Structure 1
Amino acid sequence: MSSKKTKIVKPVGSELDLCTQHREKYIKYCSQHESPCCTKCTTEKHVSCKEVISLDDAIHAFKGSVTFKKIEKSIAATAKNIKQIRKENETSVSGISEEKARIENEIQQARNKINKHLDKIQDKMSKELVEATNKAKKKSSDLNDFIIEMERSIVEQQFKIDKVKKDAIDLQSFLSMKATETELNKMDKTVNSIINDGEDGLISINFNLDPAMENLALNANRFGHVTMEVKPFLSKSIEEISLDLLKPINTQVKQTEGCCLLDNGTSVFSDFLKDRVTVLSENGEVDVQIPIKSSLHGLAVIDSQTIAVSPGGSAPHAINIVDIKDKSIKKTIPVNSEVDGMVYIKDNLIFCARGDGIRKTNLTNGVTATILQCNLGQFANIANFKDKLYVTDRDEHTVTCCDIKGSVLWTFQDTKVLQRPWGITVDKDGNIYVVDWKDKLMVLSADGKRYKQLLSAKDGLKSPTTLFYNKRGNQLLIANEKNTALLYKLV
């Protein structure tokens, strides 16, 4: 929950019918200025106004008006939402202990699995140790038997020498000594072989810990990470989504390719034909038109007063960073391809590069890299939700979802549903909205498996090209190719 909370001020009932300036009771109402008036107000400020009526008449008219019914409906909807939020919050609180128990059980299962695996490794290691020990003992024992045999032979040869030394040397003694010499040469070679060849020697057994086990001991200092995830209240699946039209907008743009809706109600449109960005105030009036030297396409919101504008299909190929408050271009980023849709994520602009796929450029260091290499067609658009990207390709009739590293997760393709998918955006619950140039607004589920049509030509869609979801206002701005846009609230 945000640390900033709106302070709710309750009006004092006895003060509502008094003029704040003159401290007199209201008796009239000026429809022109939408203001209640006391006697002094009427004579001082509204004497020339033609739509000053009695307060009773204004009250009677208001009770039956569309505005009154809208307020009444809004109060009922707000009360329902608050009740649902409280219910969801209570369920969430009661579920925290259950989640804790589940996580503890998961950790214990992981511990048991690790213990079982370590026991298995230890048993295998123990068997290998026994085999190595037996082999070492046998080799030492065999060598010892051989050495004992050599010692016996040495004693025997020594005995022969002693006998020859006592007795006269005759033919038999001579031959015996020669035989002894031959035998001693063989024994000497064998002893040298034992000493020098390295195949025999003092035997011991050693143990070298596997690096993987050592790394486990040194690096695996936790079972995982415990995090707190905040999910939005009143999350809706696509089956529950409906739209409430807030107002139509005259964009005064002949070919709109990109749009965005800022938190202050300002709407921004890229004018493909006149090479400029048109900024409309909340009441729909033109605030400023900023010229840019290229056929503009996509828009990406960087902050409350800064947007990025893609160069579309004409040279020079450069992304422009525009300050709509100062009405100036703050920065120009050259790119090597035609660029259509864009989205801003953590100091990076991620954009659709025609023929090259999905690329990104860092606004701080200027480094550009490819996320997903593919032959992306013209007027492709992109949106994001958390660590996922969603891209439309009108020529292939597809919506593709990939992660931020470029691994494709799923692709939606059904020409009965989407014939010319163009603009794309994602709401706070991860539902994906796509405008089809064939006068349709579709919403896809986060997994790309389900879909639902929300709007059609009878709702005012006429070759829609782009749309934008504003999270703070829970509003959806949809722009037709020419002149008009529609602002909806998700309900």
Structure 2
Amino acid sequence: MREVQNDFLSKVKSELIFTTLSEDPWTPHQKYYVGYVTPSISRKVQISGARSVTMKSLEDIQSNIDNVVKDRQSNLIKIKEQRHHILAGIQKLRKRINSHFDKIEQDIEKELNASECDLKRKIEDLLNGLKEKRESIAVLQSNISDLKNHASDLQTFTGSKKLVEKIESEETYVQSISEDGRLKQFSLKCTYNEGIENLLQSIASFGSILMESSSPSVEIKLKKNEQAQIMSFGFNPKSVDNVRATLLRKVELPKGNSTDEYNITGCAIFPNGKFIFTDCDLNKRLVILNKDGSLDCEIPLSELMPFDVACIDDTTVAFTVWDSSEIFIFDLRSKSAKKQIETNKVCFGITYENGMIYYCNEKHLGVVKLIGSRLTTILKFDKLMSYITSSGEMIYFTDYHTNAVFCFNVKGQKIWEYKEKSVLDGPNGVAVDKNGIVYVASENRNCIVAISPDGEKAVNFLSSADGIKKPYKIFCDNKRDLLLVTGFYGNCALFEII
């Protein structure tokens, strides 16, 4: 009998539900009572609740779509206004340029006219003098003819003597114009300002049109409760305990010109999948490899010792230089620096994200807005920061001497700090994957450590058994789930995060 009762109670308890006294499942402060109902009633209640949740979810989706459409339309209007503003600025600049060149054209035209008048006056003065001389010679010729036809011998003798003196005077005049430079060929010539030609060659456009993005101004909001889970799919990001890596290839770098040794202190992956490395002290060069690991090119940097590098796009990089306070923006096509940004202290690690260059130096952690090169100090430390990376609103950096890795937000607020020498000894490069797991190169332990997104737990991710030796810079390509690891002595490898 007791077994029958227990079986009956077990079946009834299986149909135990929470039924709300309010018809609206979204009404706050709902009151519940517990009752035993038949299976058919239970199913009806569940179906009714599911329908209510479904309708509410659809309403939420519709509301969010309306908000997004409104926001995007507003963004289109803003872009159109920005286009008109940029065009107006270009036209204003063009007018200034035209006005300036009109003025200097008028100035040189005045100078040209003055020079022409001066040369014209000199030639006309000579012509006038020659005209007078021709008239004098005509008179002399007439006098000679008169002497010949009408004068006595005595008159001819006396007159001829005077004529000879006048003729000698005219000869002296003709000879003088040959000797005093009045017969030289005069000409006008313009020597153009070399700066104008250089300007024409150096300026290929009025400027660059850049497309920027910033944080969304509209937020997707979906109401959720336990009942709504019937419409959703769960997503469980990888934890630091089960993340793994597979070796894709060892990366072979070409030998330097002056030595067979390397000092690899920086690396990055371009958007197109190519790789770049900084060979700092001994070879002073940038090395770029194709996606398959073959050599694309080497760029010697003379006396500059590149320390860390970040890819801005497929043809532009930013790099720091050992013992220098400047950040170099470098064009790989022309193999020359486009600009240099002064930070006032010796720089080390550098990273780039969404138009911002984040860097750390001897005293502070800063950010450079690439357009305009505006510098902002995010944090000031009495620590010697080594390497840096960013992910959205979070910035991560290492402190080699205190064996610590830090996570701050872009407002300068500390989120967490991990410091455990037995796990993290001599931290260098730092990278973050799409799940928020932080990877740190532990130089003295010859390993890569993985730290949980909250900074609470750390595990050995890669070790010397995986070929890790004196690791320096590491880089995460989250579009391809790749981790690039560089060793100071040139032992580099590419892993896939799985």
The alignment's TM-score, normalised by the length of structure 2, stands at 0.51
Where do 1:24-423 residues align within 5 Å? 100=57, 226-227=219-220, 235-252=237-254, 254-273=262-281, 274-292=283-301, 293-312=303-322, 314-315=323-324, 317-354=325-362, 356-377=363-384, 380-423=386-429
**RMSD between aligned alpha carbons?**
2.9
Report deviation, 1:311.
Answer: 1.6
Distance 1:232-1:462 versus aligned 2 partners, 3 A rule: farther
Residue type of the partner of 2:476?
A: Y
- The alpha-carbon deviation at position 376 of structure 1 amounts to 2.9
Pick closer, same or farther for the CA change 1:239–1:318 going to 2, 3 Å.
Answer: same
Q: How many angstroms apart in 2 are the aligned matches of 1:484 and 1:433?
A: 18
For 2:252 and 2:284, the matched residues in 1 are separated by 18
Equivalent AA in structure 2 for residue 484 of structure 1: N
AA partner of residue 398 (structure 1): A
CA distance in 1, matches of 2:482, 2:367: 27
Number of matched residues?
273
Q: CA deviation at 1:327?
A: 3.2
Show the counterpart of 1:161: none
Q: Secondary structure at the match of 1:391?
A: strand
Which residue in the other structure is 2:431 paired with? Answer: 425
State the Cα deviation string for residues 159-188 of structure 1 (Å, max 9, x = none): xxxxxxxxxxxxxxxxxxxxxxxxxxxxxx
Cα distance in 1 between the residues matched to 2:418 and 2:390: 16
- Identical-pair percentage: 26
Distance of aligned partners of 1:322 and 1:102 in 2 relative to their CA distance in 1, 3 Å threshold: same
- Give the residue type in structure 1 aligned to 2:392: K
Tell me, in whole angstroms, the C-alpha distance in 2 between the residues paired with 1:448 and 1:431: 9
Q: CA deviation at 1:416?
A: 0.9
Q: Which residue type is aligned with residue 383 of structure 1?
A: T
Q: Which residue of 2 aligns with 1:165?
A: none
CA distance in 1, matches of 2:361, 2:493: 28
Shift in alpha-carbon separation, 1:329–1:233, aligned structure 2, 3 A: farther
1:193-249 CA deviation, whole Å, 9 max, x = no partner?
A: xxxxxxxxxxxxxxxxxxxxxxxxxxxxxxx964269x9977322122111110001
Name the aligned partner's letter for residue 272 of structure 2.
Answer: N
Deviation, 1:366, is 2.2
Give the distance between the partners of 2:270 and 2:430, measured in 1 at CA.
Answer: 17
Report whether the alignment pairs 1:481 with 2:488.
Answer: yes
Residue 460 (structure 2) pairs with residue 453 (structure 1)? yes
CA–CA separation in structure 1 for the residues paired with 2:238 and 2:60? 27
**C-alpha distance after superposition, 1:456-478 (max 9, x if no partner):** 11211110101111122111110
Q: Distance in 1 between matches of 2:443 and 2:377?
A: 28
SS of equivalent to 2:359: strand
Counterpart-to-counterpart distance in 2, 1:341 and 1:393: 11
Measure the CA separation in 2 of the matches of 1:414 and 1:442: 11
- Could you tell me how far 1:372 is from its partner in structure 2? 0.4
2:107 maps to what in 1? none
Give TM-score scaled by structure 1 length.
0.52
- The aligned residue for residue 126 of structure 1 is none
Instruction: Go from structure 1 to structure 2 and tell me whether the alpha carbon gap of 1:307 and 1:416 turns closer, same or farther (over 3 Å shift).
Output: same
Map Cα deviations across residues 106-159 of structure 1 (whole Å, 9 max, x no partner).
xxxxxxxxxxxxxxxxxxxxxxxxxxxxxxxxxxxxxxxxxxxxxxxxxxxxxx
Quote how far apart the aligned CAs of 1:307 are.
1.4
- Higher mean alpha-carbon deviation, 400-409 vs 358-367, is at 358-367
1:444 and 2:446 matched: no
Matched-pair contact (CA < 8 Å) for 1:443–1:454? yes
DSSP 3-state at the match of 1:303: coil
Q: Is the 1:263–1:472 Cα contact (8 Å) retained in structure 2?
A: no
Contact 1:353 1:376 in 2 (8 A): no
- Contact kept, 8 Å, 1:265 with 1:281, in 2: the verdict is yes
Would you say the 8 A contact 1:245–1:487 is kept in 2?
yes
